[in-house]
């Protein structure tokens, strides 16, 4: 175990990277830095600027780095609820559903028998059980925020 020179153990709590719930896991270590990749925007926790991005493998030297704040929560493993939901989504996609992600960060699956999923699959030329994912400009959460 690597200890911080000043803080010793220096623990950080981890949260589910999908929903943000506490996972009950404490991360311990000295690498209390996060570097955002200039190429793809991936946040690389514990990565220094001389290393490569975990998302696109580009050098992190052009990215922005910052020290983690005390009590900052870090993305860890998925919580049980998100793992179960991911299994359901995976089965739906195998049946012909389509993964979607919104610019606001929301994500989900268009059901296999929906007109939207059928249309996306026809446009992409990817029949089930091939995996297909799309980006959407707005979702129900975005729309709801605009009307509230």
CA–CA separation, 130 and 88 (whole Å): 16
Partners of 4 in the β-ladder: 8
Strand ordering across the sheet containing 43-45? 43-45, 33-36, 64-67
Lowest mean pLDDT among 23-27, 59-63, 65-69, 92-96: 23-27
- In the numeric block, the tokens 């960060």 are attached to 105
Structural domains present in the chain: 11-75 (no CATH), 80-143 (3.30.1490)
Per-residue confidence at 3, pLDDT binned at 50, 70, 90? Answer: low
Lowest mean pLDDT among 55-59, 64-68, 139-143: 139-143
Lowest mean pLDDT among 4-18, 28-42, 51-65: 4-18
Per-residue confidence at 92, pLDDT binned at 50, 70, 90? Answer: very high
Per-position DSSP letters for the chain, written without gaps between them: ---BTTTBT-EEEEE-TTT--EEEEEEE-S--EEEE-TTT--EEET--TTSB-TTT--BGGGSEEEEPPTT--EE-SPPHHHHHHHHHHHHHHHTT-EEEEETTS-EEEE-TTSHHHHHHHHHHT--TTS--EEEES--HHHHHHHH-
Pairing of strands 22-28, 98-102: unpaired
The whole-number average pLDDT for the span 55-71 is 87
**Structure tokens that stand for 13 in this block:** 């709590």
pLDDT tens-place string over residues 121-146: 999 999 999 999 999 888 877 765 44
The whole-number average pLDDT for the span 93-114 is 91
pLDDT tens-place string over residues 6-31: 555 556 778 888 888 888 777 666 67
Per-residue confidence at 5, pLDDT binned at 50, 70, 90? Answer: low
Nearest in space to 45 (alpha carbons), one of 57, 56, 34:
34
What pLDDT was estimated at residue 148?
Answer: 44
Q: Is pTM, for the whole model, over 0.85?
A: no
């Amino acid at each position: 175990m690597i200890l911080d020179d000043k803080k010793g153990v220096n623990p950080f709590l981890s949260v589910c990277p999908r929903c943000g719930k506490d996972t009950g896991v404490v991360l311990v270590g000295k690498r209390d830095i996060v570097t955002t990749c200039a190429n793809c925007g991936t946040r690389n926790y514990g990565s220094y600027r001389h290393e490569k991005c975990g998302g696109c493998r580009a050098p992190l030297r052009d990215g922005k780095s910052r020290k983690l704040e005390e009590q900052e929560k870090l993305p860890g493993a998925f919580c049980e609820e998100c793992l179960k939901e991911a299994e359901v989504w995976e089965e739906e996609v195998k049946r012909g559903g389509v993964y979607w992600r919104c610019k606001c960060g929301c994500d989900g699956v268009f059901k296999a028998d929906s007109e939207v999923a059928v249309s996306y699959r026809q446009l992409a030329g990817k029949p089930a059980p091939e995996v297909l994912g799309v980006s959407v400009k707005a979702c129900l959460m975005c729309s709801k925020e605009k009307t509230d």
